[in-house]
Structure 1
């Protein structure tokens, strides 16, 4: 403490002596330096780095301009690489957001944060298509074990059908929805619609709930299968409705109701179509008709035959 006090008093004494020798000098408030009148005093901050923040801002601005100039073209692989630049924590957070929809919690604003990705939707659709095809074949295998009269043959075409159906749904339906919302934006001024990639991302993550549901459909209990399917459809459709509602709520009631009803109806058609096609009810085994000759007892006399005699 004594050394610090002496140092402070020594600086004050030196400054007073300097003022006494040069009465025309003036002190600056930012730094304890004496500057003669007629000269410009430059204040130096406590860190001793003049203009460091301005240099950093200038370097960041230059780097940003260089990145904009070096942005890859639409036809290059680097352009699409940015859509797959997500980590595991981001993907898991977006999956949880699609599984737990709630009113007032916008999936785009709270989870995407203006950074839509195609990594999650791509692998969710691929996994769902593969699981649909595998479980559809396993259903027939398990049914054959219970009833040997059922003939099973591998149905590899189901992989193609599932892949084409799911990927077309995830791309074409968001495209039509995005185009309709863009058109309604010009008709009625309101909150701007989501981008096309954001709409695709929302639809892709909304299908994740069907992956465990399809596995549970292996349980050979029809009412339990429909219960799991209805629960998955409710969660998935609610995620879409809660996400689209902030966009369409300022439109007319008729347009908003028709649009949201169409979204839910298409989602239900996808779920029900997959249920009937990949888990179709097995045909009942037709029992062999009893042979009339084998059913007759040998002890009984043969039935009398009537002969017509003409006289």
Structure 2
């Protein structure tokens, strides 16, 4: 009897100690299979002379990285990626916060409006790209037709580099703004209503409440959205690839992104998986560096705003 009780106590201690790890183990198993393993395998491919047809070749070390960094098209794709990323992510976050603020107000049919905001996100990226590529057509597009009606010359959305970046960024904003809006809306609804009531007592109008109560409360969510937008924006592929029929990023590669350049290296005329993997790892490192910088910057801004809020509260007391 004594040994049975001891065994049960020991089993209970093991359950308390190891069961939490068993509960979270599915995430790490899935991450290891679909995330970590491809990352390590890509690093292995990047240091070999690996071709689509011939398969694994000789070990070349960092030669694939050196070859990629000597190619002008890599830097062209890098510039295009950052340009489209800035034109999409910055307005996207600002617009998402504004729409979430409007939806957080006392509107009629809130559920309908929230579903309407999310609808562009559930549409297939290929469908969105095909529709917007027709809207931004150089000769017969609806956008240029409307511009011509108000006396503005047609814009070469496919010929001009900056104009093509604006068009692609518009596609990205159309698809992802609603998703980020719902994230911000959930964060806004978690803000204690007592803070708004205190602001009303102090005589603050809606805009003053927004900048003094809402925005400071969104700091953690804002950091999350900025980081996820950075990761997604630097990996953009569907929208620029479907912007024209060839899918090469323009005649002069004026809107070719890093992921499109990676695809061209691996499945284009070169068929070099080694160089394509090198580009993938360079993109991964760029995302890590920019993500860490965004986290540091937003954390610094949020901490400074928090200190100012505490100072103002002490002065009011």
Instruction: Choose 1 or 2 for highest CA Rg.
Output: 1
TM range (shorter): under 0.3
Q: Which has the higher helix share?
A: 2
What is the TM-score with the length of structure 2 in the denominator? 0.26
